[in-house]
Structure 1
Amino acid sequence: MRLAVLSDTHGNAIAFEAVIQDLKSQSPDAIVFLGDIVMRGPQPSECIHMVRSLEPLAVIRGNYDDMFTRFPAPGWVPSNDKEELVLRAYEYDCKRIAHDDQEWLANLPVERAWTFEDVPTEMYHAGPDSLVNVVYPWASLDEMDILNRSEHTRLVLFGHVHHAYARQGKGRLIVNCGSVGLPFDGDNRASYAIVDFNKRDIAVQLRRVAYDIEKALATAKALKMPDVEAYEYALRLARYPYNDYKKLIQTASS
């Protein structure tokens, strides 16, 4: 069996289109999507429709999908630059995502367990009991051990950290498929994973797909997406831009 594992489009439909084209050459038997379809990119509605058109075996709710459908809390006001940025992204997506798609996002599950061939597998956005925990490729094996519920699990699939990697330890394989729309691991190509099963044997490909970044940026500007300077920094350099947002704005305007 061949499984395609995708995550974190973040509204970047141009990157997602390139991944879907690459998927055709891989002929997966099934597809799973591990969350964060929306927010931070210019085409959230298009990404929702593209995910649904793939008819995935499972779609997991990501932290930004969750935030978008449950935000803001009554009386909440942003208290810093990063929260103001999140509010602008939320308001932008509200104008672009239809109500029925918002309801679909809000009701996605936060985890799935499956057995592929003879391999017990757990699927999350970030990990059990959390949509925001961060486990990077350089984490210790003990830190990796928080990513599964059952000791019988032999494969864990997750997204969230925007760093593609595969790690073996403590009797199981941990696979992060990276980000389709906003990789932050220094490689600005879209990322996803292919997992091949042969009974209990597993083989993993971490695939990188080049796409038209200029078209993605032109789309963001044409649609008047807020904070496009930070988005451009992220797409070009594949680095997390939002902690240095003020510095980016000053550089862009100078």
Structure 2
Amino acid sequence: MIGKGGNNGLKTRIAVFSDVHGNLSAFEAMYQDSLKQGVDQYWFVGDLLMPGPSVQKVWCLFEKMNPAVVVRGNWDDLVVRGARGLMDVDKPSHVYFARLAQYVDRHAPAGMIDNLASWPLHVTKQVGALNFGISHNLPQLNMGQDLFPTKPTVNFDRLFQLPGSQPVDVAIYAHVHHQLLRYANDERIILNPGAVGEPFNHWSGLQRDLRAHYLVLEVDDTGLAETSFRHVNYDRTAEIDRAQSDAIPYAQLYQRMMKTGLAYTHDDELLTRFNRQYGYADEYQRFAAEKLRQAD
């Protein structure tokens, strides 16, 4: 374990991040800030790509960071299923995921899709005196809203319900795009780093903060020496321009999200309009048929 010495012996500084969602501008800003924070290692808590445009550059930076912990998010699953031609187009949101995954497949470096598919849902990691449990959402379920920040504490107790003899002291999850520190009913700690690429809050006064959100932890021989929720400015205009220059599907929606911070994933009326205008369902079905032929 890499670390720095001090009054409490070995110290390890960890940048915990998640929900990049293909936003290269935010990801680069978060990475540069993490270097200034003197982190020793990175933990990634899922959802690397989509709907942002910069597939190859995001993947290159991710590999450069070489996270010591990686878990698979629900959008990582969508990338894999969509890129392999396995998505249905029964709902407007399914077309949205599928067509974006088709774009990822076209720009993906060799082996990237298989790499994402191999990521585990849950990892335990011992650092100093503490045992961390890391998952995108629940340990065996990387989707759903059971762990939305306002849900009852009993829901969060499920983060610690794991097989094995060594108990988890601190649970880390992501998925809900909210930074969080709270306690389980037995007072074990639960942390969420927030979203690098798509932070969100229903309260308008807090929704204005669209900086790249992530978490820095310092762990020493005693326990958590520092818990720092970081918010990093970046050039959102540059990200808007990338969506246009890279000709990503649903570019207008991504550009709108960069301005408002709001996602349009489940706006069926809006997605239906885009899907019909650009023929996205038919385009993906042709792609899927070709993928299945290649697999035979």
Alignment TM-score, normalising by the size of structure 2: 0.78
Within a 5 Å distance, the mapping from 1:101-180 to structure 2 comes to 101-134=112-145, 135-150=147-162, 152-169=167-184, 170-180=186-196
Consecutive unaligned residues of structure 1, counting only runs of 5 or more, are: none
Are 2:266 and 1:243 aligned?
yes
Matches of 1:91 and 1:75 in 2, distance apart?
A: 11
Are 2:98 and 1:87 aligned?
yes
Q: Secondary structure of the residue that 2:266 maps to in structure 1? A: helix
Change (3 A) 1:246 1:38: same
Of 14-23 and 135-144, deviating more is 135-144
Matches of 1:234 and 1:162 in 2, distance apart?
A: 14
Change (3 A) 1:82 1:124: same
The code of the aligned residue for 1:93 comes to V
Q: In the TM superposition, what whole-angstrom CA distance separates every residue of 1:102-158 from its partner, at most 9, and x where no partner exists?
A: 221121222110111111110111121111133122121111112223482111111
The code of the aligned residue for 1:105 comes to L
Any conservation in 1 of the 2:20–2:27 contact (CA below 8 Å)?
yes
Measured after TM superposition, the shift of residue 80 of structure 1 is 2.0
Are 2:229 and 1:206 aligned?
yes
Matches of 1:57 and 1:225 in 2, distance apart?
A: 31
The corresponding residue for 1:192 is 214
Alignment RMSD (CA, Å): 2.3
Consecutive unaligned residues of structure 2, counting only runs of 5 or more, are: 1-11, 202-206, 278-296
Alignment TM-score, normalising by the size of structure 1: 0.91
After the TM superposition, which segments of 4 or more aligned residues of structure 1 sit over 6 Å from their partners?
72-75
Measured after TM superposition, the shift of residue 224 of structure 1 is 0.8
Matches of 1:217 and 1:195 in 2, distance apart?
A: 31
Partner residue of 2:89 out of 78, 85, 95: 78
Q: Secondary structure of the residue that 1:113 maps to in structure 2? A: strand
Partner residue of 2:73 out of 38, 42, 62: 62
Matches of 2:214 and 2:42 in 1, distance apart?
A: 11
Aligned residues: 252
Are 2:254 and 1:231 aligned?
yes
The code of the aligned residue for 1:147 comes to L
The percentage of counterpart residues that share the same residue type is 26
The code of the aligned residue for 1:191 comes to H
Matches of 1:52 and 1:40 in 2, distance apart?
A: 20
Q: Secondary structure of the residue that 2:43 maps to in structure 1? A: strand
Are 2:21 and 1:10 aligned?
yes
Q: Secondary structure of the residue that 1:243 maps to in structure 2? A: coil
Q: Secondary structure of the residue that 1:71 maps to in structure 2? A: helix
